[in-house]
Structure 1
Amino acid sequence: MNKKIGYGIVLVLACTAPLVLYPIFLMKVLCFALFACAFNLLIGYTGLLSFGHAAFFGGAGYAAGYALKVWGLPMELGLLFGVLVAAATGLLMGALAIRRQGIYFTMITLALAQMFYFFYLQAPFTGGEDGLQGVPRGSLLGLVGLGNDLILYYVVLAISIGGFALIVRIIHSPFGQVLRAIKENEPRAISLGYDVDRYKLLAFVLSAALAGLAGATKTMVLGFETLTNVHWAMSGLVILMTLVGGMGTIVGPIVGAIIIIALENKLGSLGYFLSSVTGIEWFQTLGDSVTIVTGLIFIICVLAFRRGIVGEILARFGRFPAS
């Protein structure tokens, strides 16, 4: 009952948020929150650290953007195409990397992600360093135009809630229980007769598809896609979001995404405010120091909050594993 009340409060806050905050900023937060949750499905519940998720996030953005702009597909089909491209990319990358473990798996995903980055850099349909510009938002079911930011926000909110609900369903399904068993003791899972490589590959593809949904939605919202979203640094950013919020928790990646995106977008304004209050001009340079600030947050989390913010809160109430 308490959990349902909590979800209800969060839903009310999400529905009323655009009355207070800029809808574009909120939609960006939702997209990255879904991206972080998709990544957490892999690392938090399967124990696989991937540096290749930027290829799914950005690749789906390019695919959906091209489908919407050049092919003129409806919004729904454009997003679906982006998800399918991300899933196919995940299947290819996973098939090559999934039999490796630990740092070897991580390095293979990083190398493959960089290959995709250079592909998108050279491919003519991506626009190269200029990016894919002028992506139309289209309409919902061909009836409701999405040019209005407020209408689009509620569409993105519905997409995000659907993605979150699917992730929760996966985690609490028998499939999710097997993934946890593989993470905690892979040799034992093998001895019980589970084909762990097949389970890990399916988890990898599901994570890639959901990351692709986030990336495709972000491209539709902003109307463009750039190489930034397929660069390995984007994979590092989603890792940071997951660690800050709490790896292996359902809500943690959402909290981490809110914190990191808020820092990226509001740190400059905070710096000018602090400068006006204190008279210290150095605060005005905070907007140019986002990378340094996020790096410091990462160090603090590793040293003091190893479970992340949500993980530490749950541990205080005895609802998170001690290890």
Structure 2
Amino acid sequence: MAAKSETVASDHVAAHPRAGQVRLLLVAIALAGLLVAPMFLYPIFLMKLLAFALFASAFNLLLGYTGLLSFGHATFFGGAAYFTAHAVKVWGWSPEAGILLGVAGAAVLGLVMGAIAIRRQGIYFAMITLALSQMFFFFCLQAPFTHGEDGIQSVPRGHLFGLIDLNRPMNMYYFVLAVFVIGLLIIRRFVNSPFGMILKSIRENEQRAISLGYSVQRYKLGAFVMSAALAGLAGGVKALIFQFATLTDVTWQMSGEVILMTLLGGIGTLLGPIVGAGLVVTLQNYLATSDVPVTIITGVVFMVCVLLFRRGLVGEFFATKIGKKLGFRAES
């Protein structure tokens, strides 16, 4: 009994009195670094990293905070990319309107898929999302507006609010950065809201949440739709960054990729998916021209992280004494 008490006491580390100030300083340094990053790194690479970091963060909202593993999130990411690309190129919509259409379309897809999938739990839920995602993939393959295997190419970036020319790389980068920051703020507010607290209780003990009178199915569906909408935001931005939308965006491999990003960084943390996405995108970028297949290197990195960092890179850091002294939590 005494040994157990000593273990508990050793696990508890009091936060530093100025932990909040240190965290704010770290956030300010990170934002400053992102502001000057395009002066030192390729802007397209940075924009891709931000888009996939937002995608992984949206997925983590469902897996990390609700406990639902979806194998179909590429549907929302790729679907929004198609909706945005079609609206901007064919209908002549402004970029902000096209992205909003992509978000709305992803939310509707999330509502339909979620209403079907949340009726089951565990592996059954995951397999239903995978099956529905494959159905959407074949729809995109056959639908006239997606142009099949050719995809929607040469998508114009246009002018943001009719004033800012997004064809200039720096303008486009800061627009993507603004969308990324807004998306993270939405996720943080959602997670720390009463709704988010109920989602965590469902993740920890669903039966107890039901006994307390909460409509678990509605909360799960709400989280699913919110996650889908934010994934759609990332997909719409991605379509403007690369100026095309293709079947690659809606494949099951894309769903697996975002799961990998989230697990590498650490589920249930705001920073984890960002770190995981940065690691995967960086490996893809710098190993693209090498003789070694990127998938093999990524797989090796994943196995090492699973064996050595069971809670992900960020999750393990938060569990250290330094992380605890700085007051980092899952919501940090």
- Provide the TM-score with structure 2 as the length reference: 0.90
Alignment partner, residue 213 of structure 1 = 233
Tell me, yes or no, if structure 1 residue 68 matches structure 2 residue 74: no
Offset of 1:220 from its aligned partner? 0.7
Alignment partner, residue 249 of structure 2 = 229
Selected match of 1:285 from 287, 291, 296: 291
Q: 1:21, 1:202 → 2: CA distance?
A: 38
Identity over aligned pairs, percent: 60
Tell me, yes or no, if structure 1 residue 255 matches structure 2 residue 275: yes
Selected match of 1:162 from 166, 182, 189: 182
Alignment partner, residue 281 of structure 1 = none
Q: 1:157, 1:231 → 2: CA distance?
A: 26
Residues 64-86 of structure 1: per-residue CA shift (max 9 Å, x gap): 00000000011111000000000
Alignment partner, residue 301 of structure 1 = 305
Selected match of 1:149 from 169, 173, 180: 169
Residues 233-292 of structure 1: per-residue CA shift (max 9 Å, x gap): 1000000000001111110000000000000011246xxxxxxxxxxxxxx512xx1011
Selected match of 2:314 from 310, 314, 319: 310
Q: 1:253, 1:19 → 2: CA distance?
A: 25
| 1:171-250 correspondence runs (5 A) | 171-250=191-270
Residues 45-98 of structure 1: per-residue CA shift (max 9 Å, x gap): 000000010000000000000000000011111000000000000000000011
Q: 1:257, 1:191 → 2: CA distance?
A: 38
- Structure 2, unaligned stretches of length 5 or more? 1-20
Q: 2:172, 2:314 → 1: CA distance?
A: 29
Q: 1:25, 1:10 → 2: CA distance?
A: 17
Cα RMSD after superposing both structures: 1.1
Q: What letter corresponds to residue 244 of structure 1 in structure 2?
A: L
Q: 1:57, 1:90 → 2: CA distance?
A: 11
Secondary structure in 1 aligned to 2:91? coil
Residues 2-30 of structure 1: per-residue CA shift (max 9 Å, x gap): 22111111100000000000101100000
Offset of 1:320 from its aligned partner? 5.8
Selected match of 1:105 from 115, 125, 128: 125
Q: 1:197, 1:299 → 2: CA distance?
A: 34
Secondary structure in 1 aligned to 2:49? helix
Q: 1:176, 1:79 → 2: CA distance?
A: 25
- Structure 1, unaligned stretches of length 5 or more? 270-283
Q: 2:200, 2:189 → 1: CA distance?
A: 14
- Provide the TM-score with structure 1 as the length reference: 0.93
Secondary structure in 2 aligned to 1:285? coil
Secondary structure in 1 aligned to 2:69? coil
Q: What letter corresponds to residue 310 of structure 1 in structure 2?
A: V
Q: How many residue pairs get matched?
A: 305
